[in-house]
Amino acid sequence: MVYPPPPTKGGISINTEDYACLGEDQFLNDVIIDFYLKYLLQTMLSEEDQKRTHVFSSFFYKRLTTRTTPQVGLGAKNIEDPKLSPAEKRHARVKGWTKSVDLFAKDFIIIPINENSHWFLGIICFPGLLGPVRMSDNTPVETVDKPNASGAAPATIGATTITMVQSTTITLEPDDEDRDEAEGDDEDLEPNSSEDEGPADSAEGELLDEATHKAVKPPKPPQEPIKQPCILIFDSLAGASRSRVCATLRDYLRVEYKLRHKKSDRTFSKDILKGAVPKVPQQTNFTDCGLYVLQYVESFFQKPITDYRMPIKMLRDWFTADIVSRKRYEIQQLLHKLMEEQNIDVMRLNLPFLGLKEDGQHSMEYDENEEEDEEGLEDEEEEDVDLGLEEEEQEEEEDLGLDRERALNIEERMQMEMEEEDEGDYDSEELNDNVSRTSELFCENSPLKRKQTVSLKEVHNQRAMNSSMSPPRDCKKMRCDD
């Protein structure tokens, strides 16, 4: 699928592998990031916001900061002129990316960034302003700089806390060997917290409460909201230093402005174009960083920042984790909807099964309700089995009772027949028939055989004792083993 579809230019092609990245515990790739940001810009933003916003591709920052391999041979063209400064070399790699757009006429420049398999977001705000102005009437104002807090804040993923340690050496990952970024210092970044914000934990709150009792400060007068040129970094895994990113983007804007406005001069220092890393909602696992980048952009326009005075406040609870957990399912359904609009039969495509749920819950997660239902069904099945066994035992006992009664009746008849035999009226064939029927009742497989001790031998002995006549000629058939 291509979005937006032809004849619109600049469409993004999405294939099955890109679709599979929406699966649980998968990292979003660059295609899904670029697709959703383009969709946001074209469908969710107002016409006014569209005009004042520019979204760079997810490859922009990587291309900006990756050294090109020198070409060798006839006709080789090397972009990196040795006479250029490091900032100019970086800009030359992406010079053609803005040939049809004036970045300084925009209010917001959105840059998704991926470093070491981690997505975070950079937004350049009001690059055309020369300094801070009132939000209401664009009147220039003066701001008082606050002392910066030293030390890196710890990063937290669920119950795991990662403390960043300052080091005098820089260790490059294999992918970082060709990276080319400007030098940056954490002191160049604006503080990301203030006295007006609540403490992050109860221990800090107790210390602040104790200090408050000792020295109560008068309330500060309300300040009028402002807007000012700045570079904001939104990171769902806070703790890593982003000063080099801010310095690199600041250098890029300086060279871009110089090439576009050759007759004017402008300063892009850290005091004019401030850099900051606001406190924002944090991810609770190691795979949802891309989802948070998309939600940062969405919330940036749905719940815009009302005051760009440093530090940027009130973004810690910008959105809930539930909103992010449903993002994969929402993007999947969006892709299905767009495919149907392009007359693509989703059912005929060999799309991988993602197992996503509308509520954002893991499809393989433990479900207590389902477990209780299964236990209830098992209990009912056990009760049915027990009831069935009881009925079978009752029927078996009834059958045994009937067999016992039949055996006793036959025994009584045999006794009567033996008495008749003594009187000379004896039917040997009938007696043999009765013996055969009695043998069947007392066969090895008969339940009555297992529960009764009556034997044919006793019957035969009883007959012999009561009879003074010689045994009938068929009596030899009444052996005990019969």
Task: List, by residue number, the catalytic residues.
Answer: 118, 176, 289
Q: Give the tokens for residue 6.
A: 């032809």
Report how far Cα 435 is from the mean position of its chain's Cα atoms: 79
Q: Give the tokens for residue 311.
A: 């530090």
User: Could you tell me the CA-to-CA distances from 253 to 64, 91, 115, 167, 189 in Å, in that order?
Assistant: 12, 9, 21, 29, 17
Report the distance separating Cα 53 and Cα 436, nearest Å: 104
Strands 108-115, 118-125: pairing kind: antiparallel
Nearest to 77 by CA among 61, 100, 93, 66: 93
Angle between helices 327-341 and 30-39 (to 10 degrees): 70
Question: Is-contact 407 442, C-beta < 8 A?
Answer: yes
Q: Give the tokens for residue 444.
A: 């090895």
Report the distance separating Cα 442 and Cα 448, nearest Å: 6
DSSP 329: H
DSSP 119: E
Report how far Cα 419 is from the mean position of its chain's Cα atoms: 91
Report how far Cα 163 is from the mean position of its chain's Cα atoms: 25
Segment (H or E) for 47: helix 47-51
Residues with Cβ < 8 Å from 291, sequence gap 6 or more?
A: 28, 283, 324, 327, 328
Report the distance separating Cα 233 and Cα 221, nearest Å: 29
Report how far Cα 371 is from the mean position of its chain's Cα atoms: 21
